[in-house]
Every structure is written in structure tokens, then in C-alpha cells.
Chains A and B, each alone.
Chain A
């Protein structure tokens, strides 16, 4: 047998020889009603050079110091032990669905994290867990569990989620907000989640199921 005949053999045994015929008009409408991500602004070549030099300098500095020193320079970053403690403390403020336990938070021992990051991780884990709990309840037809998941997510968003101001840096973090909290970028993601929950509650769970698949524990 030659190499060429191997491909021909494979082609003959294609289990789905033709593309599916799909009427996707309704899906098209639904998808295009969702928000899009904004394209990242392009920098000029000169600005890119400046950025590269800055990155090189920063990398040199980081290599020459310990994570703790870096933490002190920037002030609002903390060592792994603090992040893990934040994560643990947040667990007493948040509720997970029945049968779900908090996973271990893995933090690189030689790293620093923005203050509050451990709490944000806990909020995101709770969010993903309740979305999947809701998805499971939809599949099993458990109305009560569906309502509970919706209520828990609404409470989570009301008390532990904020939107960063337009143009804020990636490291922006709210001050004076109740702990724990996660900050969503001002890119439509918050509204997307809200719409997703409203759709699921109205019997259109497609986005919720997809979100569980993509972000669930």
C-alpha cells in the first residue's frame, strides 16, 4: 500500500461525507444580537519599540529581585499566601451549589497577585458552579433548582460583581467595595451574562449551557 492510497482509504471511510444542511436563520439572529469584543487598539511601530524597551527593563528588574520586592514596589500586589488566605476567607462569604466543594487554588509560589485576586477567583468559581447547577437543573427539569440558581446568581452579581470604568487598566480593582468582589471589564461581558440569565429564565438556555461548558468547574 502506498501513502496516497492511505488517504484515499480514509476518504472513503469518512463517517459524515457531506456537510450538514442547517437552517441557521434563528441562530444567526441570536448570535448577532450578542455584543462583540472590541479589537485591541493597534500601536504605532515607534510606540511598540518603546513598549518593548519597557518590557525588557521590567523583565531585567524582575529577574534581579524577589517576588516580594516586586510586591513592595507596586504596593497593591500580594504574595501567594495572602491570595490563598483571601480565597479561603471569601469561601465563608459565598455559597456553592449542593454537592460542590471549593477546588484548591493553585498559585505559583514565586508569583504576586493583585490584592483581592483570591476573592475574585472565589467569585468566578461560584459563578461557574451556579451556572452549571442551573444547566443541570434545566436538563433534569428541576424547576426549584433552576429558580434557586437564578436567585443565587442574581445575588452574586448584585453583591460581588462590579464593572470597571471605561478605559481602566487590566489591574483596576474597586476600593471600598464589600469583599469578595470581581471586576468585569467595560466590554459588554457583564451585560452579556445578564442577558444570558434572562434568556435562560425565559426558556432559552443555549448561552447558559455553552457558558457552563466553557467555564464550569
Chain B
């Protein structure tokens, strides 16, 4: 952490943080937000206001952690009948991204933290160390959680395979943990 003595140096530091805007927007979309642009803008606003809390060497886990809280808050607030709006007040009502139904069922069967642990590594491409920071847990605890989550998802998908046409699951992985 560093202390920003003047506006200019703060803006220079924030520019690096802000370069992840696209990644945070994509994160919000992947997590089903109806207003991913708004979530990303809000995460960046929080990052600016609390710039001294944002790790300058690797801000992405912090940003994902913040965006996650915002997406969860959005989900708690959203009523089925309430239309979503973009940050400038125009209706967008953007539907959440569609997932493969088999995968969606399997992911829903996981706890929220297990699911997030898997997706931070698989979709956000974070290392286990970065993902641990995003979730605010120790790297050891994260690895245990990730292993357990993978096993649970695997079991759930195998169960689905017996009932549905087989998804092609036998693809070599490029990164194990």
C-alpha cells in the first residue's frame, strides 16, 4: 500500500487500476449481473475513493472481490418485476449470460464460495494465490476449497452424464492446481 500525497500521483496510480475496467465488466457479466457496466463503474469508484487500500502491484483480486460484493448486493435487491437500468438511467434490462444447462445445474449445486473459487480460476484465469486474495482467505484454505469444489462439480457432472447426452469432458487441462 502507498499513501498518495497529491492528486496527480493518485491519478497515475489509479490509471493502472482502471486499466482492468474491461475485466471487471466481464466478471460482472459472467456472474449474471443485469448491469455489468454499472457494477464495474461502481467498483472503480470505490477503488478510487479507497485507493490506499488497493494493492498497487496486483489490483485485480481486490477489484474482483469488490465487484463480487456489488453483484451479490444487486442480486439481493433485484425484484423479478423491476426492470434494470443503466448507469445513465436508460432502460437496459440486459439478460444475464446464458450458461450451458448441464453446467448451470451443476454450478447451482455448489455452495456460493465453492462456485466462486472454481470460477475465479477457470473463468477469471486467476492463480490460486490471487483467487485466495479475492475471496479473503489464506492460500492454503483456498486450495483445499478449490479441490473440494472441483470434486463436487465433477461428481455432479458425472451424475448428469448418466441422464443426459455426454458433454465432452475429456479435454486435457493446461493448468492444474
Contact = CB atoms under 8 A, between A and B. Distances in A.
| A and B: interacting chains | yes
Contacts of B59: none
Interface residues of B, number: 66
A39 B89 CA distance: 33
Given A1-B154, A139-B89, A209-B87, A10 B122 contact: yes
Interface in A2-42: 2-16, 18-22, 24, 27-28, 31-32, 34-37, 39
A28 B22 CA distance: 13
A143 B77 CA distance: 24
Given A31-B44, A139-B89, A16 B154 contact: no
10 contacts: A1-B169, A5-B169, A6-B157, A9-B103, A9-B168, A12-B171, A34-B48, A34-B49, A35-B49, A39-B3
Contact of B41 (A8, A9, A206): A206
Contact of B73 (A6, A11, A213): A213
Contacts of A163: none
The B contact surface, by secondary structure, is helix
Interface string A98-125: 0000000000000000000000000000
A11 B122 contact: yes
Interface string B1-37: 0011001001100110010011101100110000011
Interface of B: 3-4, 7, 10-11, 14-15, 18, 21-23, 25-26, 29-30, 36-38, 40-42, 44-45, 48-52, 70, 73-74, 77, 83, 85, 87-89, 91, 97-100, 103, 118-119, 121-123, 147, 150-151, 153-154, 157-158, 167-177
